[in-house]
Amino acid sequence: MSQIKGPALFLAQFAQDEAPYNTLSNISQWSKEIGFVGVQIPAWDSHFIDLDKAAESKQYCDDLKGQTHGLEITELATHLIGQLIAVHPAFDILFDGFAPAAYHNNPKSRAEWAEKQMINAIKASRNLGLSVVPTFSGALLWQTVYPWPQRPQGLVELGFQELAKRWQPILNAAEEHDVDLAYEIHPGEDLHDGITFERFLDATGNHPRVHILYDPSHFVIQHLDYLGYLDYYKDYIKAFHVKDAEYTISARSGVYGGYQDWVERPGRFRSTGDGQVDFKKVFAKLTQNGYSSWAVLEWEDPLKDSVQGAREGAALIKSMLIDTPTHAFDDFAGGQADDATNRRILGID
C-alpha cells in the first residue's frame, strides 16, 4: 500500500456555475470518473461549502462528506482567505476581490473578516476530521523584494514581526483544535522560499503549527532546488500540490516575466507531466522522508485544457505512488544477527 495518498484534485480551478462543476456532489462524481480518490475543497467557494456552517456544525460536515460519492475530502484550502491577513496598501484594490463587497475599501475590516474565516476553516477542518489547513501567508514586504531603493535597516525584521503578530491568534486557534497550517511557498507571498519561511517561523517563536505546503512549480520558476528543499524542510512539509512548470532562458525576459501573459513568459506553469519537474524524484524523496498525506493535483496551464490536464494528472499521480516495502530486498542473504556474531565479525574478544 502506498504511503502517500492520492490522487486528489484541488477544485478551485474547476468551479463553475454549470454542471458537473457547480456542486460538491456533481464535481466529486466527475472527479471519481476520471480517476481521483480525493478532493481538496477551496474554503472560500460557496459552490462546494458553507464555511460558517461547517465551523458550527459537525452534522453539516458529516452531510458534506456524504456528497462526495466515496471520495475523501483531503483538506480545506484557504489561500484567498489567508492572503487577506496581510495586504500592503499597494495591493488593496487588487485583493479586495477576495472578500465580500461589504469589506471592500476597508482594509482593517477585511483583515478582521479574514481572521474569523481562517479560524472557521480550522474549526470546520476539525469537524471534518482533517488535520491540515493549506493557506497563503499574505505579504507586507513583497513590494520590496528587489532591494532598490535600498531597504532601511530593520524593515524586514519589522515586517516579519507584524506578519507573525497578525497570524498569532489564528495559529493559537490551530493549536487549540489540533490543526496545522501549511503555508504554500509562493512568489507574491512573504513566505516565498526557505529563508522567508525560516524568518516567519522564528518571528512566531517557532510556533508548532507553522508548516509548509510544498508545490515544486514555484521552485522551478524561481530557480530553487526543489528536491533539496524536500530534505531541508522535511519536518515541516504537511501538504503537497502536484503542479508542473517550465523555465526557458530568454534573451528578452527573465524570472519577472516582462509583464507578459502566462503563455509568453519564460517561466510558466504546465499541466502535470508537461513541464520540467522530475516527479519520480519528488515522490521518492517524499516517501523516503516519511510524508504520508495527500498528493493533490493543482491544474494551471496556459496551453492545455483543464479537463485533459485533470485526467492526465490523475493517471500520472497514480503511477508515481510508491508501495513501501514490507521487508528489506537483501533479507535473503542475511546471516545470524546477534551481538556475539557481530563481535566475532569485528574481531573483538
Contact between residue 40 and residue 293 where contact means Cβ atoms under 8 Å apart: no
Residues 6+ apart with CB under 8 A from 76: 40, 41, 42, 43, 49, 51, 54, 121, 124, 125, 128, 130, 133
Its sign, for the CA torsion 238, 137, 56, 9, is negative
Q: Per-residue DSSP letters for 142-187?
A: GGGSS--SPPPTTHHHHHHHHHHHHHHHHHHHHHHTT-EEEEE--T
Grid coordinates of 240: 503537497
Q: Which among 113, 157, 160, 108 is positioned nearest to 139, based on CA atoms? A: 160
Q: What is the pLDDT along the chain (349 residues), one digit of tens a residue?
A: 789 999 999 999 999 999 999 999 999 999 999 999 999 999 999 999 999 999 999 999 999 999 999 999 999 999 999 999 999 999 999 999 999 999 999 999 999 999 999 999 999 999 999 999 999 999 999 999 999 999 999 999 999 999 999 999 999 999 999 999 999 999 999 999 999 999 999 999 999 999 999 999 999 999 999 999 999 999 999 999 999 999 999 999 999 999 999 999 999 999 999 999 999 999 999 999 999 999 999 999 999 999 999 999 999 999 999 998 888 877 777 777 789 888 888 999 7
What domains does the chain contain, in order, with CATH numbers? Answer: 5-346 (3.20.20.150)
Contact between residue 209 and residue 175 where contact means Cβ atoms under 8 Å apart: yes
Start-to-end C-alpha separation, the chain: 45
Give dist(CA 91, CA 298) in Å, integer: 25
Name the residue type at position 264: E
Count CB-CB contacts under 10 A for residue 57: 15
Asked if the bond preceding 149 is cis, omega within 30° of 0, the reply is yes
Give dist(CA 292, CA 283) in Å, integer: 11
